[in-house]
């Protein structure tokens, strides 16, 4: 498993936590999303301590919502890969800097 971190750049990006009642968790700009990338199960977004399929939704509460993969979100400028920055900040914290 490889761990990635994605930064949220825009409003109205969400992930469906419960498909039965269509409960969506909304991210705010500047939120960091942890992604566990599995070779056999694909990408999983970690919310709290629970993993969910990394299938994002843009504008879920509007009439023209769209479901997006991680690659689509990055291509459209909704998310950005901040993995190197997160690892750098963790290392600096461990070093006491």
Cα(3)–Cα(70) distance, rounded to whole angstroms?
14
Mean pLDDT of the region 2-6: 96
How confident is residue 74, by pLDDT bands cut at 50, 70 and 90?
very high
Average pLDDT, whole number, for the chain?
A: 92
CB 16 within 8 A of CB 8: no
Predicted TM-score (pTM) of the model is: 0.86
Bridge partners, 63 (sequence order): none
Q: In what order do the strands lie in the sheet with 79-81?
A: 50-53, 42-47, 32-38, 2-8, 79-81
Domain that holds residue 90: 2-95
In the chain, the number of structural domains is 1
Q: State how beta strands 13-18 and 23-27 pair.
A: antiparallel
pLDDT at 93: 87
């Amino acid at each position: 498993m490889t761990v990635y971190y994605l930064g949220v750049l825009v409003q109205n990006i969400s992930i469906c936590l419960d498909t039965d009642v269509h409960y969506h968790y909304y991210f705010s700009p500047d939120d960091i999303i942890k992604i566990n990338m599995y070779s056999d199960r694909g990408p999983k977004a970690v919310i709290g301590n629970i993993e969910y399929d990394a299938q994002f939704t843009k504008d879920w509460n509007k009439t023209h919502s769209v479901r997006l993969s991680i690659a689509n979100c990055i291509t459209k400028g909704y998310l950005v890969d901040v993995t190197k920055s997160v690892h750098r900040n963790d290392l600096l914290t461990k070093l006491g800097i």
